[in-house]
């Protein structure tokens, strides 16, 4: 494990009711297993493991030491992924090279021996790969990964991808002029990422691991080291770590593995370099360190208390026994975190959230942490409650019921993975390849994992779970304590330490387990009857209407075995937000926290244990939307849950409390970054302060209640039209019967979605004078944003013309602001054409900058707009912008998610089906002159709305 679990825990917000887990593969045996010793020069973990390897993975090592992993797979059909993995990151930097691992990653796109500067991205765009979405790279402490998501599996594109990876591996030029330009781009990225969250993370690392290499060698480096980057020092890092024995090529997708292996040999066998002398160190770590306390303050942070102790790393080869121990540990941590989640859902909860985790970092340290996200002024109460649950678990262990709940969920996830084994996504196999390389985890099959779990399950009990947990946990005795927040705790560091010590001395009693009943919502009355049933001719979507008015759209696919995507729309949504009541539906997403009439959310999590169901609720522009993914086996329970939420939402006060705490935290960090400052004011500026689209005062949100939400939405939920969509692996007649027994059995409701004509007006301000906004972030951060009104999305051709104009504009902005001027990391362009508000649409361009760069960037951005208006773009520019859009059309219906975008409103917005079937031909026929026409019609520089976001002068003075 490489510094992942704690970061995720610290960043966690809310938990879903249920979620699909990528269930780990566990195994047990009744007899001792002989584990063969690995050869000294064997780079793979297989010889040291008794786990059966997924036979479809092909691994190998070239004579020069380069490893490769190939996994053929057909989901999504006709696509693939190619990664170059380098076993080095920021830990391999010398002091004057801070940030160079990341900068080398950037330089891979700025000229190699056989690919001129700037041509790599253009080459891939011509092949349909969008920069950022399909072409990317990332750097961590100990890894650098270059990624290409191939929209097609043709041999030529694969060869191009491997050629580019080979260029990246050894042929980067580091031309001085290119280095100088990229320094500005890196500085821009540093500024964008320099947020209160990052500053808190860096301070946390320094407190937890002082003097260690990974606390000091942050991936981004410093402004000074990047400014002093030279071609030679970048090359020094590159040549030290980019060596064949320290790298691997991974290819996943619908390819012939023999052809892939031959292509890898063809491109990489000639790579010659001496072996890496020694791996980079992440330490040292003082395991014995204890008793230190820190208070860290930032006005944008909510209160967080972190309790940690370190211990030595435990080397656990990936074997039958280590996976048995892992599942027991997982259950133990799962129960503790379940208890903490239960406390967070109580009336007047002691904390917003809390969690416990033990992680192993860089194979040098094991750290156990208890993290508490407290309400302002309530840190002591929150810490005491979390500490009590930690101690109670360690003293008394767990109940049979708690273990059974965790086992049920784990079993369901493993069974679901096994049932969907044949249609696993390419990304699943890429993850398997990366964990093989990075963590030595042997890739096995879901079917064999299920067999092993079934053998293990009888041995899982409270005693074995507690024993495994105690073996893993570093006891939190005299721990490191860190408080982060807006205001220091009363009494400071001494008070924090005293509170922990007092809690450790308390006498605790075992936890009493409450009895649980059955799910209360299984009978909705007489099943509904079908009054219409037809299959539309364009895409074969089955369209059904029940006597009570509920509409059902079905699309059975074989794209994901054992998966069913479910989406429901209820008429209303944000159409209920009026000028007089602009926040009427603002609390909708908190409804689930209020549970159902017969069950709290916490009770639901227990009574539905083992069922692969969930519920995400939000108020969209025109509808209230429920979404989830389930299995054919659990579709009945999923539909019962949807119907219960419509018929009997709980409106418990826990949802109000959580919402209000989140509001307070939001307003505390309101303008903490340029993007936040722009986002908070943009709606008001564009709409001339129309309250429906403007951020309201904090007090307005704090005064919201579930009683008010009930008054606003209850009539729609009882009477509003419903359209339900199912996409995936299900029996159609069985699904119709299940819908009939749930949603179809509800009382009669409106047949049609409302017109809402009185609330569909939306304007773009006529006041186009330049605006200046201020943020409270760092004083080297600024943002320049330009917008124009366009049109709505009713005309398909013009919609596609504007989207193509957007892609062309972004490409030109990248060429100008990033590649030529080196001013910004990621300039953006966006075209939004509403199909909700007639006549309303926007086009925007934006760039993150330094305040000093704003004038030059403004000139450059306006020059791009002028170039789009003054002449048609060349055919190559048009092709590079359009090719990824065409590939998106071709691949849309290769996933259930793509289908859902068309199926969800197939009856009430049937024209979307026609637009999809016609859209590709329209897009393919567009010309450079069409793009110019859109720019001339809509992008008049004199009509732009320009907003500049600068550092708050008051903050700078302070």
User: What percentage of the chain reaches a pLDDT higher than 70?
Assistant: 95
Query: What mean pLDDT do residues 361-372 have?
Result: 95
DSSP SS3 for 223: helix
Q: Which of 707, 727, 759 is the last residue of a domain?
A: 759
Is 184 in the same domain as 159? yes
> Is 591 within 8 Å of 649 (Cβ atoms)?
yes
Q: Which of 219, 244, 268 is the last residue of a domain?
A: 268
Is residue 47 a part of any domain in this protein? Answer: no
Residue bearing the bigger pLDDT, 818 or 542:
542
Return d(Cα 165, Cα 246) in angstroms, integer.
14
Backbone angles phi, psi at 600, to 5 degrees: -70, 165
Question: Rounded to 5 degrees, what angle do the CA atoms 270, 271, 275 make?
Answer: 135
Can you state the percent helix, strand and coil of the chain, rounding each to 5? 45, 15, 35
Question: Rounded to 5 degrees, what angle do the CA atoms 4, 10, 11 make?
Answer: 90
Average pLDDT value over all residues in the chain? 93
8-state DSSP, 853: G
pLDDT of residue 6: 34
Residue 745 has pLDDT above 80, yes or no: yes
Return d(Cα 841, Cα 835) in angstroms, integer.
9
User: What percentage of the chain reaches a pLDDT higher than 90?
Assistant: 90
At 581-619, the pLDDT tens digits run 999 999 999 999 999 999 999 999 999 999 999 999 999
Residue 407 has pLDDT above 60, yes or no: yes
pLDDT of residue 714: 98
pLDDT of residue 516: 77
Return d(Cα 926, Cα 938) in angstroms, integer.
17
Return d(Cα 141, Cα 8) in angstroms, integer.
16
pLDDT of residue 838: 98
Return d(Cα 440, Cα 610) in angstroms, integer.
30
Is 126 in the same domain as 239? yes
At 858-885, the pLDDT tens digits run 999 999 999 999 999 999 999 999 999 9
Is residue 546 a part of any domain in this protein? Answer: yes
Return d(Cα 926, Cα 805) in angstroms, integer.
11
Q: What is the CATH number of the domain that holds 115?
A: 3.30.830.10
Is 213 in the same domain as 351? no
pLDDT of residue 1: 35
pLDDT of residue 96: 96
Is 565 in the same domain as 588? yes
Nearest to 740 by CA among 529, 531, 566: 529
Q: Is 366 exposed, middle or buried (0-12, 13-18, 19+ CB in 10 A)?
A: buried
The CA–CA distances, whole Å, from 264 to 41, 113, 674 equal: 21, 19, 45
> Is 90 within 8 Å of 237 (Cβ atoms)?
no
pLDDT band at 34 (very low <50, low <70, confident <90, very high): very low
At 78-95, the pLDDT tens digits run 999 999 999 999 999 999
pLDDT of residue 38: 40
> Is 746 within 8 Å of 524 (Cβ atoms)?
yes
Is residue 513 a part of any domain in this protein? Answer: no
Task: State the SS3 of 26-48.
Answer: CCCCCCCCCCCCCCCCCCCCHHH
Q: Got the DSSP string for 103-128?
A: HHHHHTTS-BSSS-TTHHHHHHHHTT
The CA–CA distances, whole Å, from 215 to 201, 203, 208, 227, 504 equal: 10, 9, 8, 21, 30
Is residue 679 a part of any domain in this protein? Answer: no
Return d(Cα 652, Cα 706) in angstroms, integer.
8
Residue bearing the bigger pLDDT, 934 or 1:
934
Q: Which domain holds residue 800?
A: 771-957
Return d(Cα 639, Cα 522) in angstroms, integer.
10
Is residue 142 a part of any domain in this protein? Answer: yes
Return d(Cα 903, Cα 884) in angstroms, integer.
23
pLDDT of residue 512: 83
Give pTM, 2 decimals. Answer: 0.94
Residue 30 has pLDDT above 60, yes or no: no
Is 156 in the same domain as 90? yes
Query: What mean pLDDT do residues 781-785 have?
Result: 96
Cβ neighbours of residue 806 closer than 8 Å, sequence gap 6 or more: 829, 830, 831, 843
Residue 8 has pLDDT above 50, yes or no: no
pLDDT of residue 14: 32
Is 79 in the same domain as 121? yes
Is 246 in the same domain as 113? yes
pLDDT of residue 28: 31
Nearest to 669 by CA among 630, 641, 698, 648: 698
At 453-466, the pLDDT tens digits run 999 999 999 999 99
Q: Is 708 exposed, middle or buried (0-12, 13-18, 19+ CB in 10 A)?
A: middle
User: Per the structure, how many domains does the chain have?
Assistant: 4
Task: State the SS3 of 472-527.
Answer: HCCCCCCCEEEEEECCCCCCHHHHHHHHHHHHHHCCCCCCCCCCCCCCCCCCCCCC
pLDDT band at 13 (very low <50, low <70, confident <90, very high): very low
Q: Kindly state the tokens that stand for 900.
A: 């859902």
Query: What mean pLDDT do residues 690-709 have?
Result: 97
Is 230 in the same domain as 314? no
Is residue 722 a part of any domain in this protein? Answer: yes
pLDDT of residue 31: 29
8-state DSSP, 649: B
Residue 17 has pLDDT above 50, yes or no: no
DSSP SS3 for 6: helix
Return d(Cα 146, Cα 106) in angstroms, integer.
10
Nearest to 804 by CA among 892, 883, 893: 883
pLDDT of residue 16: 39
The count of C-alpha atoms lying within 13 angstroms of the C-alpha of 403, restricted to the half-sphere facing its C-beta, is 19
Cβ atoms within 10 Å, residue 711: 12
Query: What mean pLDDT do residues 482-486 have?
Result: 97
pLDDT of residue 955: 62
Is residue 152 a part of any domain in this protein? Answer: yes
> Is 871 within 8 Å of 853 (Cβ atoms)?
no
Question: Rounded to 5 degrees, what angle do the CA atoms 303, 304, 305 make?
Answer: 130
At 926-937, the pLDDT tens digits run 999 999 999 999
Is 595 in the same domain as 485? no
> Is 535 within 8 Å of 543 (Cβ atoms)?
yes
Is 739 in the same domain as 885? no
> Is 589 within 8 Å of 625 (Cβ atoms)?
no
DSSP SS3 for 370: strand
Return d(Cα 561, Cα 75) in angstroms, integer.
11
pLDDT of residue 289: 93
Residue 733 has pLDDT above 80, yes or no: yes
The count of C-alpha atoms lying within 13 angstroms of the C-alpha of 516, restricted to the half-sphere facing its C-beta, is 19
Nearest to 322 by CA among 423, 456, 433, 212: 456
DSSP SS3 for 673: coil
Is 182 in the same domain as 116? yes
Return d(Cα 249, Cα 240) in angstroms, integer.
19
Is 386 in the same domain as 259? no
Is residue 36 a part of any domain in this protein? Answer: no
> Is 403 within 8 Å of 410 (Cβ atoms)?
no
pLDDT band at 279 (very low <50, low <70, confident <90, very high): confident
Return d(Cα 243, Cα 273) in angstroms, integer.
6
Question: Rounded to 5 degrees, what angle do the CA atoms 391, 394, 400 make?
Answer: 115
């Amino acid at each position: 494990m490489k510094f992942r679990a704690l970061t995720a825990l610290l960043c966690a917000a809310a938990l879903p009711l249920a979620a699909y887990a990528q269930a780990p593969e566990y195994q047990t045996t009744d007899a001792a297993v002989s584990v063969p010793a690995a050869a000294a020069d064997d780079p793979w973990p297989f010889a040291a493991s008794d786990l059966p390897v997924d036979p479809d993975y092909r691994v190998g090592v070239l004579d020069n030491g380069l490893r490769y992993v190939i996994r053929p797979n057909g989901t999504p059909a006709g696509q693939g992924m190619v990664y170059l993995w380098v076993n080095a990151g920021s830990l391999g930097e010398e002091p004057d090279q801070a940030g160079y691992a990341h900068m080398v990653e950037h330089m891979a796109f700025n000229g190699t021996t056989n690919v001129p500067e700037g041509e790599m991205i253009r080459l891939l765009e011509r092949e349909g790969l969008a920069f950022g979405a399909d072409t990317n790279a990332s750097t961590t402490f100990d890894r650098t990964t270059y990624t290409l998501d191939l929209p097609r599996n043709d041999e030529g594109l694969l060869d191009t991808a491997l050629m580019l990876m080979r260029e990246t591996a050894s042929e980067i030029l580091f031309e001085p002029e290119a280095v100088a330009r990229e320094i500005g781009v890196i500085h821009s990225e540093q500024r964008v990422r320099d947020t209160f969250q990052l500053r808190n993370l860096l301070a946390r690392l320094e407190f937890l691991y002082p003097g260690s290499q990974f606390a000091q060698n942050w991936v981004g480096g410093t402004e000074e080291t990047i400014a002093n980057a030279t071609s030679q020092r970048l090359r020094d890092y590159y040549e030290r770590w980019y060596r064949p024995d320290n790298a691997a090529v991974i290819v996943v997708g619908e390819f012939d593995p023999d052809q892939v292996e031959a292509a890898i040999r063809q491109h990489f066998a000639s790579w010659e370099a001496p072996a890496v002398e020694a791996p980079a160190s992440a330490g040292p770590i003082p395991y014995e360190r204890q008793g230190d306390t820190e208070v860290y303050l930032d006005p944008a942070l909510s209160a967080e208390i972190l309790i940690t102790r370190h211990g030595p790393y435990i080397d656990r080869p990936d074997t039958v026994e280590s996976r048995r121990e892992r599942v027991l540990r997982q259950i133990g941590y799962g129960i503790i975190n379940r208890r903490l989640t239960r406390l967070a859902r109580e009336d007047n909860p002691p904390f917003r959230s809390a969690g416990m985790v033990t992680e192993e970092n860089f194979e040098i340290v094991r750290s156990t942490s208890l993290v508490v996200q407290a309400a302002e002024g309530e840190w002591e109460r929150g810490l005491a409650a979390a500490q009590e649950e930690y101690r109670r678990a360690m003293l008394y262990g767990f109940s049979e019921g708690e273990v059974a709940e965790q086992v049920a969920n784990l079993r369901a996830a493993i069974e679901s993975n096994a049932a969907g084994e044949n249609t696993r996504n390419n990304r699943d196999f890429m993850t398997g390849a990366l964990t093989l390389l990075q963590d030595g985890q042997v890739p096995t099959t879901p079917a064999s994992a299920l067999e092993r779990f079934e053998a293990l399950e009888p041995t899982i009990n409270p005693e074995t779970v507690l024993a495994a947990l105690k073996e893993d946990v570093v006891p939190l005795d005299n721990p490191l304590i860190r408080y982060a927040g807006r205001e220091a705790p009363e009494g400071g560091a001494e008070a924090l330490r005293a509170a922990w010590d007092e809690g450790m001395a308390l006498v605790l009693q075992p936890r009493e387990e409450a009895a649980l009943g059955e799910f209360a919502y299984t009978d909705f009355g007489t099943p509904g009857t079908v009054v219409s049933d037809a299959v539309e001719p364009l895409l074969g979507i089955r369209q059904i209407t029940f006597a009570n008015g509920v509409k059902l759209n079905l699309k059975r696919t074989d794209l994901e075995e054992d998966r069913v995507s479910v989406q429901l729309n209820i008429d209303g949504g944000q159409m209920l937000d009026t000028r007089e009541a602009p926040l009427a539906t603002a609390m909708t997403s908190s409804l689930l926290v209020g549970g159902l009439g017969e069950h709290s959310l916490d009770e639901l999590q227990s009574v539905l244990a083992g069922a692969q169901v969930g519920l995400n609720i939000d108020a969209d522009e025109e509808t209230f939307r429920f979404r989830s993914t389930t299995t054919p086996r659990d579709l009945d329970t999923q539909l019962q849950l949807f119907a219960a939420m419509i018929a009997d939402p709980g409106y418990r006060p826990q949802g109000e409390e959580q919402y209000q705490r989140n509001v307070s935290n939001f307003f505390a960090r309101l303008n903490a970054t340029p993007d936040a400052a722009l986002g908070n004011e943009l709606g008001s500026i564009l709409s001339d302060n129309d309250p429906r689209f403007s951020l309201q005062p904090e007090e307005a949100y704090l005064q919201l209640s579930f009683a008010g939400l009930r008054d606003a939405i209850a009539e729609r939920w009882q009477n509003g039209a419903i359209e339900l969509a199912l996409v995936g692996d299900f029996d159609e007649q069985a699904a119709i019967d299940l819908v009939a027994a749930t949603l179809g059995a509800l009382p009669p409701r409106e047949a049609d979605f409302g017109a809402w004509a009185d609330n569909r007006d939306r304007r773009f301000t006529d006041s186009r004078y330049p605006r200046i906004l201020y943020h409270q972030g760092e004083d080297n951060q600024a943002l320049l944003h330009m917008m124009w009104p366009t049109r709505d999305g009713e005309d398909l051709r013009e919609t596609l013309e504007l989207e193509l104009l957007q892609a062309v504009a972004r490409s030109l902005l990248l060429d100008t602001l990033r590649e030529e001027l080196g001013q910004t990391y990621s300039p953006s362009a966006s075209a939004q054409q509403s199909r909700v508000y007639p006549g309303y649409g926007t086009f925007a361009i934006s760039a993150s900058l330094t305040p000093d760069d704003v004038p030059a960037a403004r000139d450059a951005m306006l020059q791009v707009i002028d170039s789009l208006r003054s002449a048609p773009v060349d055919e190559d520019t048009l092709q590079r912008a359009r090719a990824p859009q065409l590939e998106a059309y071709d691949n849309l219906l290769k996933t259930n998610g793509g289908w859902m975008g068309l199926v969800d409103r197939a009856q009430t917005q049937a024209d979307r089906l026609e637009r999809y079937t016609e859209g590709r031909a329209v897009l393919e026929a567009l010309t450079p002159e069409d793009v110019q026409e859109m720019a001339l019609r809509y992008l008049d520089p004199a009509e732009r709305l320009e907003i500049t976001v600068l550092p708050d002068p008051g903050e700078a003075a302070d």
